[in-house]
Amino acid sequence: MAQFPPDDDLSQMAPGPKAQAAEDGNFRRGRFNPIFVLIALITVLGGAAALYFGFKKDKERMLPEQIAKEKMNIFVLPESDQLPKWRSWTSSEEEDMVQEALIQLGMLEDPEAIKLATAALARKNHAINGVAAQVLAHFGSPAADEGKPALLEALKLADDSDRPQIIWALVSLKEPSVFKEAMELYRTAKLAKVQRLGGGNAFDPEKLAALVSNDELASMAGDSSNAVRQLVATVIARTGDAKYTDVLIKLVNDEDIDVAGQAANGLGKIGDEKARDPLLKKLAEASKENRQKFLVALRDGIGGEGLVLALSGVAKEPEERNWFQTEQIFKMLEELADPRANEALVKWAEASKEPHWRAEVGMRLAEIGDIRGAKYLADRMAIDPETTYPKEKFWQHDAGGHLSKTDNQRVWAARMLADLAVMQPDKKDELKVGEKAVMKWLTDKPQPHANGLRFLANIQSDEAKTKLREWAFPDTPLPKEGAQPPFPTEFETAQSALRYLGKMKDEESFDKLVKQFERKKDKKMDITNEGLMGAGLAMLGMALRAVAYGAAQGLGEWGDKRAVKPMMELVEDETWHEEARLAACEALAWCATPDDMKEIAKRAIKFGAEKTPRKQFIGACYATTLSLRPMPEVVGELEGLLTPELDPSLRFAFAVAIGATKIDDATRDKLLEKVKNPELRNAAALALIRGG
């Protein structure tokens, strides 16, 4: 039976596509459906169009190098011209350009930046969202409050790249609904890493805490996160409110020392017995490292009052630990110099029986000018270190060694008393509480200390005046020519005593002060630095230098015009020691009348123009007077003395005198020229720096 189709039918054997009958029997349509052909054509044309526009878009995009060049072109413009450029950038399709524009507009404090940043959030671009949020946070509330709805909408689609910035912006705009989300980020430390516009950490715990009440925040004291507990401790501690005492007690016993340290501040501020006892207990139990952290927290949170409170928490035993812990606190008080601690310090000192620490209280008070420190310093002046500090207590030492071996405590106390007399000149009667103790200290020693002399002079001590005269004008004769060391200590003492006798303005001693300049009987004897190098004059020359130096300082302290003529004679005597003459030139600034100063200026110019170093020294010495009491009218002439011929060792004295007053343009130009000369460069530069 014949088969259909037959076995050898070519339609079964030939390779390639085969025509199929249309389902509806319309064989004329062939094998392709026109609808599919149309779809195919549209797809091809669409792909071609996409390809074309893609190529066109790529061509329109700016390369990074082009963006950088455009930025530089904008940066060189005035700020007012920059603003429209940056504003136009915010509509760019370039992500980087939009971000840069928003940053710059924010940094330029452009109010339009708020609207532009709010609009940028609608792009739903995470990178742009982060910058837009930074800008809104930068302007803060209420200025940027209009951006809240856009930020809340952006938060719904945020990811890890922009969520912290958006939440922080909402925190900055005081949006309470984000508190829980913000705390979650805070627990993971992501919120604390948010950067503010322009760089630097933006996070502020106060802003976060302000979103809820203190009561709600206090309820989080048991949170599992150390960061959250520290935030709670910090904010609640700052209130100083006794109703949070129990919360702070819980936190001060926290295993995290940073949490406990912040809680300690709050307990210290509350200050009642219920708050103080657990704080002091915690301090007493703390390790050395943790104790330091507690003290730093108290210092930073409360100030000096917190440190004084900590004095009650030092270990009582062993004695060695008590000493070191107390010393640690007093050193911190010294560095802090907080006048708010004064009342607490006085109260503590009145309850203390330890003379050493009472003296430390006196020093802390005196350092900030509190006259109450004088009482404790006076007590300290009466204490002999050898009997106060037993040698077996090796821990009682300072940088100079064991306190029984040095008298540093009284040296410092005398200095503090002298400083108090300067800071509180109207409190001399109150300062005389230390007069007898200081006098005894000075007279018990082989030589009186200058700090004690200064204190007695500053309070115009009548009791000390007679003794000061004895020290200033010793009966001991001057050393003979050829005398050998040691140097007579009487003349070491006389130098200081002469100065402070002048400070007391002892009229009976005025002529004796002036006569110290006449003690070199041999007018030709050379006791300059050069002259003392030989001829066996060292001991005699240095004794004469000491009395002349001290007398010049004393007359300078006195400030009496009667001293001008004899001091100028000393200055111009080329055989006297240079240091004594320089002291006289410094004193002239305080004693000379306006007419005297004009004469001194003339002589500075006259001697400065001389060719010999000894004459030039006189000019430089007078220039020192002019540097302490400037004469603007002679600055131009002094500038002319800065020449290579001027002794190099004297150039700086003239430079200081030139720069002691404002330099005019002509003098400045001449000095700038001299800067080009290697020999004069340093001196000219010094004059320019000082005189502008």
E-assigned strand segments in 365-456: 397-398, 401-402
Tokens of 327: 């010393």
pLDDT for 24 beyond 80 = no
pLDDT for 310 beyond 80 = yes
Q: Residue 626 pairs with which residues in a beta bridge?
A: none
Q: What are phi and psi of 476, to 5 degrees?
A: -60, 130
Q: Residue 402 pairs with which residues in a beta bridge?
A: 397
Contacts of 393 (CB under 8 A, 6+ apart): 319, 320, 323
The confidence band for 65, taking pLDDT boundaries of 50, 70 and 90, is confident
pLDDT of residue 205: 84
Would you say 628 and 589 are in contact if contact means Cβ atoms under 8 Å apart? yes
Q: Residue 397 pairs with which residues in a beta bridge?
A: 402
Would you say 314 and 326 are in contact if contact means Cβ atoms under 8 Å apart? yes
pLDDT tens digit string along 192-241?
A: 899 999 889 999 988 999 999 999 999 999 999 999 999 999 999 989 89
Would you give the DSSP letter of residue 242?
A: G
Average pLDDT estimate for 388-398: 93
Residue 444, amino acid: D
Q: What is the rounded end-to-end Cα distance, in angstroms, of the chain?
A: 127
pLDDT of residue 125: 95
pLDDT tens digit string along 532-587?
A: 987 789 999 999 999 999 999 999 999 999 999 999 999 999 999 999 999 999 99
pLDDT tens digit string along 615-654?
A: 999 999 999 999 999 999 999 999 999 999 999 989 999 9
Q: What are phi and psi of 159, to 5 degrees?
A: -120, -170
Query: Nearest 5 degrees, angle CA 266-CA 268-CA 273?
Result: 115
pLDDT for 437 beyond 90 = yes
Classify residue 454 by burial, with Cβ atoms within 10 Å: 0-12, 13-18, 19+: buried
Would you say 581 and 621 are in contact if contact means Cβ atoms under 8 Å apart? yes
Q: Above pLDDT 90, what percent of the chain?
A: 78
pLDDT tens digit string along 75-92?
A: 899 999 999 999 999 999
Distance CA 650, CA 39 (A): 101
Cis before residue 425, ω within 30 degrees of 0?
Answer: no
Distance CA 127, CA 166 (A): 11
E-assigned strand segments in 191-347: none
The reported pTM is 0.73
Classify residue 388 by burial, with Cβ atoms within 10 Å: 0-12, 13-18, 19+: middle
Distance CA 635, CA 628 (A): 14
pLDDT tens digit string along 492-546?
A: 999 999 999 999 999 999 999 999 999 999 999 999 999 998 778 999 999 999 9
3-state DSSP call for residue 161?
A: coil
Of all residues in the chain, what percent are helix, strand and coil, respectively (each to 5)? 70, 0, 30
Would you give the DSSP letter of residue 541?
A: H
